[in-house]
Amino acid sequence: MKETDPDMEAPIETWRGRSWSSAFSPEETARAVSTLESGGLIVLPDCAFALEGDERRFLDPRWLDGSRKNIGLDGSDVSGTRARGDDARDLAAMIARFARSAASLVEGMLPAYAHQIRRARTSLRPAAAEGRAQSPRHDDTRLHVDAFPSRPSGGERILRVFCNVNPAGEDRVWRIGEPFEAMASRFLPAIRPQAPGKAALLSALRVTRGLRTEYDHVMLLLHDRAKLDLDYQRDSPRREIRFAPGTTWLCFSDQVMHAAVSGQYMMEQTLTLPPEAMVHPARSPFATLERLAGRSMR
């Protein structure tokens, strides 16, 4: 039922026969927390997201409006799509159903986070993972941790639930890189603290929603420098994982070095969690960066 790879610091737990509404034993929920908080993945190969009615029509990149690579749902607003009228309504309903499925999975699997975890954006990704980047910084086929330039997190964790909904049997293929601490140790020494006044300026100019903290500044630079370092991209430790259609997987994507190599049609739910709500807050990127840099990340 469970497989762990003791040689990798990023443990990958594969649990068969689980669906969105499965109950998890206390032993399993504890293991899920410790796997995720140590930079691992939980993989559920039998947790498919079932399309209803003629929702299958939405598995087509032509629904994208060309401004970005995902169709997003934030509250009840669907964005990034050229769907209008009934199509927009049906598309929003499908993404909202995925959001509820993901919420119910997280509720069952991660009860320790129940009071503090927050649902953020939900997306449908109809474009092929490969060859969709406009620039190296946006190129998610390169190993990176997630950091959002316009939405400072201040250290809040980014938990993501992904599901491959490919209708033609195509896997989504990822690479998983080295542990967060190893990556940060490599890039941190060359990262200078954020210039005084910059956070206030970015916020006043509405480049960011709220203040970009030292943590956000460092995380963005780690994201960018890892992606732009071609030697690192070529030589750093990694392993490939294949997610077949009907597979759901979870990870803290602000911690796991990941790259989307190939695949098409995926749904994704982002959730946020204050680091204090972790069972082991010392494993957060925030705590790791403060320890490595020897300065406050606030």
Ligand X SMILES: O=C(O)CCC(=O)C(=O)O
Q: 13, 28, 139, 146: which one contacts Fe ion (CB under 5 A)?
A: 146
CA 188 and chain centroid, separation = 22
Is 223 within 8 Å of 104 (Cβ atoms)? no
**Minimum separation from the CB atom of position 16 to ligand X (A):** 22
Six-digit token pair at 222? 């780690």
Q: What is the arrangement of strands in the sheet containing 258-262, beginning at the earlier edge strand?
A: 239-243, 172-176, 258-262
Q: Is residue 214 near Fe ion by the rule CB under 5 A?
A: no
**Closest distance between ligand X and the C-beta of residue 62, in Å?**
19
Torsion (CA) 292, 174, 67, 155 in degrees, nearest 10: -20
Shortest CB 163 distance to ligand X, Å: 11
Residues in binding contact with ligand X, number by CB under 6 A: 9
Under rule CB under 6 A, residue 253 binds ligand X? yes
Hunting for tokens 């509250």 — which residue is that?
75
**Most distant CA atoms of the chain, gap in Å:** 55
- Is 139 a binding residue for Fe ion by CB under 5 A? The answer is no
**Residue number of the CB atom closest to ligand X:** 260
**Nearest-approach distance from CB 260 to ligand X, in angstroms:** 3
Find the shortest distance in angstroms from Cβ 174 to ligand X. Answer: 6
Piece in contact with Fe ion (CB under 5 A), picked from 27-35, 86-94, 139-147, 212-220? 139-147
CA distances to 29, 149, 178, 288 from 293, rounded to whole Å, are: 32, 21, 19, 8
Partner touching 106 among ligand X, Fe ion, none, CB below 5 to 8 Å by kind: none
CA–CA gap between residue 292 and residue 131 (Å, rounded) = 35
Which ranges in 43-190 belong to alpha helices (H)?
85-109, 180-187
- Answer with the entry of ligand X, Fe ion, none that 156 interacts with (C-beta below 5 to 8 A by kind): none
Binding site for ligand X (CB under 6 A): 125, 129, 140, 146, 172, 253, 258, 260, 266
Contacts with Fe ion by CB under 5 A lie at 146
